[in-house]
Chain A
Amino acid sequence: MNDRDRNAPSGPPSEADDDQQSTAVSDAAELRDRRADDVVRRKRQDSVRSAIKTELSEDEADAEPRPRAEDPGALEGAVIELERVYLAFDRPILEDVSFAAFPGETLVIVGESGTGKSTTLKLILRLLQPDSGRVYVNGKDIAGLSFTEALAVRQGMGMVFQSAALFDSMTVFENVAYPLREHTDLDEDAIEARVREKLAFVDLEPDEVMEKLPAELSGGMKKRVGIARGMANNAQIMLYDEPTSGLDPLTTATITRLIMKLQRELNVTSVVVSHDIRSAFRMGTHIALLAERCIRFFGTPEEMTGSDDRYIRDFLGGF
């Protein structure tokens, strides 16, 4: 794997830059207006960046040290790795996407809507197969697995969906117990004990929620039950699709803390798809920015805030 081309991108000019150059006009009035707009935008982006940095520094103060990645050349230890993945449906979705997540890391994938973030999660789960390229989970290429083999691989992963995707005909207990009943030989007492443990881990009172149906839960509680179900099998890989979307700021903070808790206490490797840049910066050890069908940026939150890339500055400025 080491012989792969991992040269850093040479930083080609963005489309916006090209457009700006090509549309450079001699009209002095238009130029003045544009410069004024740039100044306003730059000020706004600076203020957002400083706010994010402040929040980061506050988080760092009360947080345990985050596990850092291994030697970047040593991809052998990667838990999840995408290598030069291409995928198209009726149009290209992903082009030459490569990234890796190491044990205990939380990789947050951000990007505009429709850039293939959720699709990337489906590739990791082998719900989709890439047109070309490889997807490794725990060092095993899952792209070529049969459907049945893929089911076995998925049992080692937990997935939390945007809508929580709890089975609405089952109670909370049955939802969390589902993977245990399906894939383990645990007796009912052991299953109940495990369900209680997982519900307590996600800050839910087992006796209060176990017999409720998903329709009786709030959005935040559904997400937490979804996380409990995902980790019921003691999964070492957790995938989250928009875990904080549609939640109020307090619940968003709760879910974010929960994901961080999973990482710190259980050393779970997580891949999170999110639009919420503040949560992404709080929970992520690394951020991947998907744009124009490929990874435009990959690095730590600090590196992202310090980036001079025009697109990244615009992207952060939009929040």
Chain B
Amino acid sequence: MVNSPISRRHGPCPLRRKYAAGITPVHALNFLPPILDRLNDAAKRKVLALQDYFILAWNALRFIFARPFYGGDLVQQMDAIGVQSLGIVLLTGFFTGMVLALQSAVQLQTFGASMYMGRLVSASMIRELGPVLAGLMVAGRVGSGIAAQLGSMKVTEQIDALNTLGTDPIKKLVTPRVLAALIMLPVLTIINDCVGIVGGNLIAQFYLDVPSSLYWRTVWEQVASDGFVLRFIPNDFVQGLSKPFVFGGLISITACYFGLNTTGGTEGVGISTTRTVVTSSILILVLDYFLTQILLSVLVAP
């Protein structure tokens, strides 16, 4: 084979050749003690993962405005994220509103303030419980689904197949999911809020004997009392709807990130799914605090 004319097409192959000069060694800081070296590697991996996460988020959002538009995929994802999550959100919202009213009733009765039940339930649901609960439910149901779906596609080489067929997987798979979550999570939150307030109304009416008309009047008083943005949008609504918008992006991007970075077969898919739910849930709760801080400082009551 050595003298074959065809074999001249390939270069020499000396065994155990030193790796090409000029190529950056993988472990550039080998002089560090092993424990520091490992810490250094771990820190670099975390920073790199964070960078990849934000690059994915940026690309997913950027591609919303880039052709081609995958309208069919968007509608499909809106159905999967929104319509198919309706049942779980209705149940969660309804029972949360009832429990909230039930627990508050004892305290309010002590002070003779049962008539303020509507204010308490609506403020809690619209500002905090609605967005957070809807977010957690979607993270559990939809986030895990997205991670499992993309993870399976990754380990079965379907993502590579998309690439080889000349399709950008982020544009085809990530952007429709992110956009669908950005649209549908606020919608789910509104439904969650409404159902929760209705649940509170039931408890107020049948447990505390608060007339329904009074309950709904206090609900409106609460919504109107915190001021308006642009003169007609209640501050509570701005607060209650900006959060799910952020949570929607967070859940979908986190799920897509873990899904697309799945390795190791079916076990890897399970790990990605778990990581998605845990990370999304924690981030929702942490981010909720900071968002509340920001919104309270921005949306000043009159």
Question: Is B84 part of the binding interface, using a Cβ–Cβ cutoff of 8 Å?
Answer: no
A163 touches B166 (CB 8 A): no
Q: When A and B form their complex, which 9 residue pairs have the shortest distance between CB atoms, in order from nearest? A: A155-B166, A165-B161, A165-B157, A159-B164, A98-B11, A294-B13, A298-B10, A295-B10, A9-B12
The 7 listed contacts between A and B (C-beta, < 8 Å) are A8-B7, A88-B23, A132-B23, A147-B168, A167-B161, A182-B166, A303-B6
Contact with A along B128-168 (1 / 0, CB 8 A): 00000000000000000000000000001110110111111
Give residues of chain A (101-149) contacting chain B, Cβ–Cβ below 8 Å: 122, 125, 127, 131-132, 147-148
How far does the Cβ of B63 sit from chain A's closest Cβ, in whole Å?
A: 11
How far does the Cβ of B171 sit from chain A's closest Cβ, in whole Å?
A: 10
Question: Is B231 part of the binding interface, using a Cβ–Cβ cutoff of 8 Å?
Answer: no
In the complex, chain B residues whose CB is within 8 Å of the CB of A89: 26
CA distance A165 to B161 in the complex (A): 6
B8 touches A96 (CB 8 A): no
A12 touches B15 (CB 8 A): yes
Which of B1, B6, B161 has most A Cβ within 10 Å?
Answer: B1
In the complex, chain B residues whose CB is within 8 Å of the CB of A125: 163-164
A182 touches B1 (CB 8 A): no
CA distance A46 to B295 in the complex (A): 80
How far does the Cβ of A196 sit from chain B's closest Cβ, in whole Å?
A: 19
How far does the Cβ of A7 sit from chain B's closest Cβ, in whole Å?
A: 7
**Chain A interface residues (CB < 8 Å from chain B):** 5-12, 14-15, 69, 72-73, 75, 84, 86, 88-92, 95-100, 122, 125, 127, 131-132, 147-148, 151-152, 154-155, 157-159, 161-163, 165-168, 178-179, 182-183, 229, 239, 286, 288, 292, 294-300, 303-304, 306-307, 309, 312
B168 touches A151 (CB 8 A): yes
Q: Is the interface of A mostly helix, strand, loop or mixed?
A: mixed
How far does the Cβ of A288 sit from chain B's closest Cβ, in whole Å?
A: 7
A159 touches B11 (CB 8 A): no
In the complex, chain A residues whose CB is within 8 Å of the CB of B157: 161-163, 165
CA distance A40 to B119 in the complex (A): 91
Question: Is B17 part of the binding interface, using a Cβ–Cβ cutoff of 8 Å?
Answer: yes
CA distance A99 to B13 in the complex (A): 12
